[in-house]
Amino acid sequence: MVNEYLKPKTLDEALAALAVPGSVALAGGTWLLVGEEHGTKGDLGRAVDIGELVPSDIGRKGTTARVGAGATFQALADSPALPACLRKSALSMANRNTRNRATLGGNLGADKSCASLVPILLALDATLEYAVRGADGKAATKTAPLAAWLERKDGLALTVSFEAPAGLLAASGRASRTACDVATATVGAAYRLEGGAVKDLRIAMGGFGPRARRMPKLEALFEGKALPDKAGIEKLAEPLLDAISDQRGSAAYKKRRGAVILADALAGAEALS
Ligand SMILES: Cc1cc2nc3c(=O)[nH]c(=O)nc-3n(C[C@H](O)[C@H](O)[C@H](O)COP(=O)(O)OP(=O)(O)OC[C@H]3O[C@@H](n4cnc5c(N)ncnc54)[C@H](O)[C@@H]3O)c2cc1C
């Protein structure tokens, strides 16, 4: 239940409203307004609508891509400015009605274990511009690696950017029992090939802990070497995936599916530009 609904006109006003205890930023509402498991126990307190305050434009200048936190999943899926791996992650949210409302900023704020967009953005080493309330009460813009911001989630996410240089290969993936079922694992991977060997490999996975995160042990398996075939990747990766058994599946099932989508991502990674 929303006890109080506020629609500030400026970012300064929004940050001031959010500084009041019990306030929460409301974007598309597809996570906040659904269910009781989101830390709010169904009671949203003061909802501060930021829907029209955060940027929603998507663009690319040279090798730099930028996506406003207010961009919806559907806008990401439709954008010719974005690489296929990111559009595919957005489209992996099966329900179009939800894609029309759900935003990138909300995906980062919710930061669910199987968040669709977080693994590929971590694999692309994305950077986040965000706004915090300065000492003068005005909005101050800061920049941080997305991975660092996700650790503390201070302020409001404004714009995600990442580099898509020539030679970088990337892919994303999602495992679920059916297309519209909840995910059991998500993956994002990016690397270059140098003389047939994998370089600067970044792998991030969701579904193997409370939040999606980089997987250094998996990266170490393949960095500096020629990629094994898919069966070889699965065999090496599966023992390194830690999962819990729950309503989404047994730990063994999740590890198996995780290893398979990782192998698919590494073997199927495509150039970004
Ligand atoms: C039917 C259904 C299917 C779904 N499928 C998927 C799926 O496939 N993959 C997936 O990842 N999720 C899925 N979700 C969950 C949800 O849709 C996503 O997490 C979505 O990205 C949330 O975005 P939102 O704009 O609706 O955020 P909201 O619900 O408005 O907010 C989510 C959280 O983010 C915070 N927040 C919002 N904007 C910002 C910002 N700019 N800066 C900082 N914090 C912010 C809010 O305060 C809140 O804590 C699904 C939900 C539903 C109802």
The per-residue pLDDT for 34 is 84
| Tens of pLDDT, residues 179-218 | 778 899 999 999 999 999 999 999 999 999 999 999 999 9
Task: Point out the ligand 1 atom lying closest to the alpha carbon of residue 109.
Answer: 34
Distance, CA 71 to ligand 1 centroid (Å)? 12
| Tens of pLDDT, residues 219-236 | 999 999 999 999 999 999
**Does the pLDDT at position 244 exceed 80?**
yes
Question: Domains of the chain, with CATH numbers?
Answer: 58-163 (3.30.465.10), 169-271 (3.30.390.50)
Q: Amino acid identity, residue 117? A: L
Distance, CA 225 to ligand 1 centroid (Å)? 38
Distance, CA 99 to ligand 1 centroid (Å)? 10
Query: Which of 23, 24, 30 best tests ligand 1's pocket when mutated (most atoms within 8 Å of CB)?
Result: 30
- Cβ atoms of residues 245 and 233 within 8 Å: no
Neighbours of 157 (CB within 10 A): 29
Q: Looking up tokens 């090939």, which residue turns up?
A: 193
The per-residue pLDDT for 35 is 66
| Tens of pLDDT, residues 58-79 | 999 999 999 999 999 999 999 9
List, chain by chain if needed, residues with CB within 6 Å of any ligand 1 atom.
Answer: 24-32, 34, 50, 54, 69, 93, 95, 98, 101-103, 105-107, 109-110, 112, 115-116, 156-157
Distance, CA 141 to ligand 1 centroid (Å)? 22
**DSSP letter, residue 251:** H
Task: Point out the ligand 1 atom lying closest to the alpha carbon of residue 72.
Answer: 25
**DSSP letter, residue 198:** E
Q: How confident is the model at residue 3 (pLDDT cuts 50, 70, 90)?
A: confident
Query: Which of 107, 113, 182 best tests ligand 1's pocket when mutated (most atoms within 8 Å of CB)?
Result: 107
Contacts of 253 (CB under 8 A, 6+ apart): 184
Nearest CA to ligand 1 atom 32: 106
d(CA 116, CA 86) in angstroms, rounded, equals 9
d(CA 192, CA 48) in angstroms, rounded, equals 42
